[in-house]
Amino acid sequence: MSALSRLAELHGIALEYHDIRGELHAVAETTLRALLAAMDVSAATDQEVESSLAAGVAAQWREIVAPAVVVRERSQPKLRVHLHARWDAAPLQWRLSEERGTEHVGDLAPGDFPAAERTTLDGVELIARELLLPLQPPLGYHHLALQSGGTVIAETLLIVVPVACFSPPALADGGRVWGAAVQLYGVRSERNWGIGDFTDLTALVSVWAAKGADVAGVNPLHALFPHDPTHASPYSPSSRLFINILYLDIEAIADFVECDSAMQLVGSAEFQGTLSRLRKSELVDYAAVAAAKLRVLELLYAHFRAKHLIPGSERGHAFHGYCVRGGEALRLHGLFEAIQEHYFAEDAAIRGWREWPQSFHDPRSPAVERFATEHAERIEYYGYLQWQADLQLGAVRAQVVARRLGVGLYVDLAVSIDRAGAEAWTHGHVLALSASVGAPPDDFNMRGQNWGLPPLIPDRLRHAAYAPFIDTLRASMRYAQALRIDHVMGLMRLFWIPDGKDADAGAYVRYPFADLLGILALESQRHRCLIIGEDLGTVPEEIRTALATAGVLSYRLLYFERADADEFKLPGTYPGQALVAASTHDLPTLAGWWQGRDIALRDDLGLFPGTTTRDQQLDARKNDRARLLRALQRESVLPDGVSLDPDSIPAMTAALALAVQAFLARTPSQVLVVQLEDVIGVSEQANLPATVDTHPNGRRKLPLALEQWPDDPRFVELTETLRRLRPRRPAAGPGVAAGPPRATYRLQLHREFTFADATRLVPYLAALGVSHVYCSPYLRARAGSRHGYDIVDHAALNPEIGDRAAFDRFAQALADHAMGQIVDIVPNHMAVMGADNAWWMDVLENGQASAYADYFDIDWHPPDPDLAGKVLVPVLGDHYGRVLEKGELQLCYETETGAFAVRYHEHRLPIDPREYSVLLDLALTDSAQLANPLPEAAKSALASIATGFRRLHARDDPRPAHLAERNRDKELLKASLAALVGEHSALAAAIEQAVRTVNGTPGDAASFTTLDGLLEAQAYRVAFWRVASDEINYRRFFDINDLAALRMENEAVFEATHRFVLDLAAEGKVHGFRIDHPDGLYDPAAYFEQLQQRYASLTRQDGGDRQDGGKRTPLYVVVEKIEAPHERLPDGWRIHGTTGYRFANVLNGVFVDAAARMRIDRAWRAFVGGEASDFGHATHDGKRRVMQTSLIAELSVLANRLRRIARANRSTRDLTLSTLRQALMEVTASFPVYRTYVAATLSAQDRRY
């Protein structure tokens, strides 16, 4: 094999391929050199080839471990490592940091594992081994570090993936669903602005769901080019990470009804005339649509900025939250749009970033940063547009949930992006910009296809730890419940075509298929998103097999499903694990196929090599029409009066089109989708491959308005037919143990009584007649927890109790014995302090700038001005000054993350990154006195990083753009610091010395001044634990400082804390919830409503009111509630009852001898003497004592809020704080029930109390 061939194979380029007819094609040498050049591999001459080959092999050996290692769940991770002989001979230490915070450490002796290969580079012997880690990590993205002699020698991202992708309950046990597929831009309605929009999509979901559909498919919704709206192909987007803002329904934006100038403009006769013309046009007029929408959007943004963003209204804060979540990716997208808009205004020939000035090609160049500073408001404008798109797509998703679709919204993911767009600008380093993705010639495209889209470079993708691929999946799965991977073969190989060459001059390039498929399965499971792989065309059988094993649905189209003699397959022979349809956007509609319209179009456009080929295809189509009629007859769906002679049917009739859909509905394939064009007999296809301007791709509108669909007889007859052939059924429910428990048995799970122990106990409990086990909380709790109510992660099982496999075995054992389980969930609070709650750590680091600041009930503006913008952290065992000067508060530098934090025993107190500059400046000063001085280049880099930290926006700066920049830049700077320290041992020593200096010397009070100042600058005030009773400014669980209350009324908090347990319930593995302390919630009734509705939507049950007006409760829910003897549960609570405290109290009375009451009373009074009082007085005095001691801080917060209310009215303004505090205390002490439930309405019971 030649050096060029070896170099090509090293970089994944296949030297030959088979076409659709099985013919072998060798790849030309010129193609190999061109594709290597596209990968930035020098191969123009034989000398360059030899040099690149040697460098490539050496680079592989010098890579100690791959940047990302993908392993399957329930298996020990296997790592291929390349070690220097000196490392190979000594033990290696490993540290695995799980994404949820748990750490595992251990040692490995490389020599215990066989050597796979050996080589020598530059005189150094290198040994390749495959190490086996002695643990089975949970699913997720974990950080693994290898150390030798205490020094980190390699790090990798360990990605643990599931065996298969997610499949919704509606598809379990032979479930088959059906629905519609639509090109959103082509939806015609009486209210849109000439292009389908998100409100149309919401309506379409409702229309089809009302008829029994379970899936609604749509074209890619990726961001296109606002500056050039005629660039309209959804399959050639600017970015797959963001949304096409032309799909916004302008009048559904909240700012529209508030903005008088926008209302007046849209209401004008001229504007209404424009909208009328846009609605009536046969094709989408992108330029006019964009002009109309963007004109109004400018007004809406200006209104929003003035009325909400600058004043800091609730909507302004919501936008800020969106920007924080969007982070650097959102900022860069807005920055691209602003720069492109700027240069396009100067020169309309500038179509993308490659035509900008060279200094703007790097998104992080000084020129770009200056532009960002000067045009911050314009960047914010584009962020506002994406926010509105996010909200409107969220409304579509909410409609899907409300309508309980078995699958939901089914979205297309384009195979790549336009090389001139935003994603190529930000990800250009991983793209082959001088090559394009396409397909070799086939029967439908005789000249092959060049899609003009740049491919990812496999080596660069791997070195990025697959981040671009992961980000793309997450962006699409955010809204979709099903995702179609366009050209799914791209997970294994893509057909690359060098620039300037025809499609037949391309070659296949291999990708890390197993890794990408595993990551796809992981994101699918996490997002509960069904995956469909578009596997049309030339697809090796091993790909189909692997995809099927991974739970990816195949994509089967009627036109291509053939049996012997080219006859159409009968329905029963279709695969079950598939999506089936008659056609798709890139192929002729049913009517167009029947008439040969696609053949005529390709002939008109000169896409055939000659008339002979055209005539052959016309003859073949006539034969195919006859074959289709025979297939329909064999399946007994051929319409009455229709003969088997295709010439007798010159055009596709409605009856024949319906018969085709009925034919497909009979297949065992899990999902059937119908193109809207086929419902109403459209003959022109939406997109014609291999054309750009010669066919109106991406512009055709449906002839029937959306409002007319429900009454159209073709639609009605089709949906009735499909509903009959594929009836909707309830999702797989909780099973045999679904009803109320007959007898429960409490299982207190902890590290000494695990899922495995509980599994062994199941047969015994079943023999006792127990119907349900009642489990203590088993989500991830504080290490060593014996009770489980101190949860730190609501999205994971407690690893001390068992992993998902152990839980599944436990659930299966219960099912095998016809038993169920009730699980204790804790919505009111979670464990804080310590170092294991990621949300709390983020709040301490970033204060009000944290994305989780609103998750906890923190008073950022308490009466004490010293606590303004801070949260009290009462963890010290003595007064602050004493603890500080004893040296018990220790600053440390965390090498793996590049972060600084103060440690106090088990507590971690993160340092605000803005204050890192103080520490790094000190390290720079100390470095001059080290025996091993810091190189000048490293000094310069450290000074630059310190300046970057110093320039971070303050955590109390409320401007969304600034908060997004802060959250982006602090992480980039930490990563840069970690990398720099890893490269320079002298810098590590300098930081270590600076940390020692800051930590002070016990006995020298002045030496702690810097650490004291550092702590005072944080978003928290660390304090003696006794201070909490007077000054606490976050809501606790009673007076327990390390249990902080959650704001469950916040939708994001509910979703984050309940998604995992609700999924378990929807899967039938959990059969009910016991709700811990619901009286701590802001609005228990709303919480129970949300809980039942969310469960009903997941299981496709009716969560609405019953016909008698009562509330349905599909999920078994009981609550921990201490009721007074005279109290009853609120009628509106959608629960089954309480956990039975009152009943237990009554039952306990059976065992009490009431006749002895007087003797017990006399003994008690003799013991307590003058303190004796009746129960009522004792409880009143007890309540007052608790409020005067343990809960005095909470009382002060309420009193101050009441004072603000009182001062707003002249009748109450003179009531003093002391008076109000005493009144509150007395009212509370006299309260006859635990709490009232005043909400929008006032119940008779609440009024009474």
Closest Cα partner for 72 from 8, 14, 5, 140? Answer: 140
Cα–Cα distance for residue pair 401/1102, rounded to 1 Å: 12
Taking the CB of residue 648, how many other CB atoms lie within 10 A of it? 9
Q: What is the structure's pLDDT at 1108?
A: 57
Average pLDDT for consecutive 10-residue bins of the chain (1249 residues)?
94 90 89 96 95 95 96 92 89 91 91 92 93 92 92 94 93 92 96 97 95 96 96 94 98 96 97 97 97 98 95 89 91 97 95 96 95 96 97 92 90 96 96 94 74 96 96 95 95 95 92 97 95 86 91 96 93 95 94 94 86 90 95 93 91 95 96 96 88 86 96 95 83 48 94 95 94 96 94 94 91 90 95 94 94 91 89 95 95 93 95 95 83 82 92 86 82 90 88 94 94 95 91 90 94 90 89 94 92 84 65 88 84 88 86 89 87 84 90 86 90 92 92 83 78
Query: Taking a C-beta distance cutoff of 8 angstroms, is the pair 484, 411 a contact?
Result: yes
Cα–Cα distance for residue pair 556/536, rounded to 1 Å: 8
Taking the CB of residue 1051, how many other CB atoms lie within 10 A of it? 10
Q: Which residue type sits at 1006?
A: A
Residue bearing tokens 């703007």: 360
Query: Taking a C-beta distance cutoff of 8 angstroms, is the pair 398, 390 a contact?
Result: no
The sign of the CA dihedral 340, 342, 345, 350 is: negative
Closest Cα partner for 568 from 578, 558, 554? Answer: 558
Query: Taking a C-beta distance cutoff of 8 angstroms, is the pair 218, 190 a contact?
Result: no
Q: What is the structure's pLDDT at 1106?
A: 64
Which run of H or of E encompasses 161?
Answer: strand 151-161
Q: What are phi and psi of 989, to 5 degrees?
A: -65, -40
Query: Alpha helix (H) ranges present in 312-365?
Result: 314-346
Q: Which residue type sits at 1245?
A: Q
**1004, β-bridge pairs:** 1001
Q: Which residue type sits at 278?
A: L
Query: Taking a C-beta distance cutoff of 8 angstroms, is the pair 601, 695 a contact?
Result: yes
Which DSSP symbol is given to 138?
Answer: P
Q: Which residue type sits at 362?
A: D
Q: What is the structure's pLDDT at 105?
A: 94
Q: Which residue type sits at 546?
A: A
Which DSSP symbol is given to 856?
Answer: B
Tokens standing for residue 967 = 């959250």
Helix (H) and strand (E) counts in the chain: 41, 40
Query: Taking a C-beta distance cutoff of 8 angstroms, is the pair 452, 500 a contact?
Result: no
**1072, β-bridge pairs:** 822
Query: Taking a C-beta distance cutoff of 8 angstroms, is the pair 192, 247 a contact?
Result: no
Closest Cα partner for 843 from 1053, 1028, 1061, 1054? Answer: 1053
Query: Taking a C-beta distance cutoff of 8 angstroms, is the pair 134, 94 a contact?
Result: no
Q: Which domains does the chain have, with CATH numbers?
A: 3-61 (no CATH), 74-161 (2.60.40), 736-831+1048-1146 (3.20.20.80), 838-1042 (no CATH), 1161-1248 (no CATH)
Query: Taking a C-beta distance cutoff of 8 angstroms, is the pair 461, 514 a contact?
Result: no
Helix (H, G, I), strand (E, B) or coil at 1217: helix
Q: What are phi and psi of 194, to 5 degrees?
A: 95, 5
The sign of the CA dihedral 424, 427, 433, 436 is: negative
Tokens standing for residue 1003 = 């006995």
**1037, β-bridge pairs:** 1040
Cα–Cα distance for residue pair 1228/1247, rounded to 1 Å: 15
Cα–Cα distance for residue pair 254/1247, rounded to 1 Å: 36
Q: What are phi and psi of 489, to 5 degrees?
A: -60, -20
Provide CB contacts within 8 A for 438, sequence distance 6+: 448, 449, 450, 451, 495, 496, 497, 503, 506
Cα–Cα distance for residue pair 854/627, rounded to 1 Å: 63
Residue bearing tokens 């693994």: 144
Provide CB contacts within 8 A for 574, sequence distance 6+: 556, 561, 580, 667, 668, 669
Q: How close are the terminal C-alpha atoms of the chain, in Å?
A: 90
Cα–Cα distance for residue pair 915/587, rounded to 1 Å: 59
The structure's pTM equals: 0.73
Taking the CB of residue 716, how many other CB atoms lie within 10 A of it? 13
349 burial (CB, 10 Å; 0-12 / 13-18 / 19+) is exposed
Which DSSP symbol is given to 1074?
Answer: E
Cα–Cα distance for residue pair 228/887, rounded to 1 Å: 63
Which pairing describes strands 92-97 and 1117-1119: parallel, antiparallel, or unpaired?
unpaired
Provide CB contacts within 8 A for 354, sequence distance 6+: 361, 419, 420, 433
Which DSSP symbol is given to 1105?
Answer: B
Which run of H or of E encompasses 634?
Answer: helix 611-634
R_g over Cα of the chain: 34
The torsion angle over the Cα atoms of residues 552, 555, 560 and 565, rounded to 10 degrees, is 30
Provide CB contacts within 8 A for 781, sequence distance 6+: 788, 789, 790, 791, 792, 798, 800, 831
The number of angstroms, rounded, from the C-alpha of 947 to the middle of its chain's C-alpha atoms is 33
Q: What are phi and psi of 450, to 5 degrees?
A: -120, 110
Which DSSP symbol is given to 996?
Answer: H
CA distances from 1145 to 704, 1119, 1152, 1154 (A): 67, 16, 11, 14
Tokens standing for residue 531 = 């995956």
Closest Cα partner for 773 from 799, 800, 741? Answer: 741
Tokens standing for residue 177 = 């669903």
Q: What is the structure's pLDDT at 735?
A: 39
Q: What are phi and psi of 541, to 5 degrees?
A: -60, -30
Tokens standing for residue 1158 = 């007087």
Q: What is the structure's pLDDT at 49?
A: 95
Query: Taking a C-beta distance cutoff of 8 angstroms, is the pair 1103, 1095 a contact?
Result: yes
Q: What are phi and psi of 19, to 5 degrees?
A: -85, -175
**129, β-bridge pairs:** 81, 115
Q: What is the structure's pLDDT at 862?
A: 87
The number of angstroms, rounded, from the C-alpha of 264 to the middle of its chain's C-alpha atoms is 39
Closest Cα partner for 876 from 755, 1021, 1001? Answer: 1021
CA distances from 822 to 1000, 1068, 1144 (A): 53, 11, 19
Percent helix, percent strand, percent coil in the chain, to nearest 5: 45, 20, 35
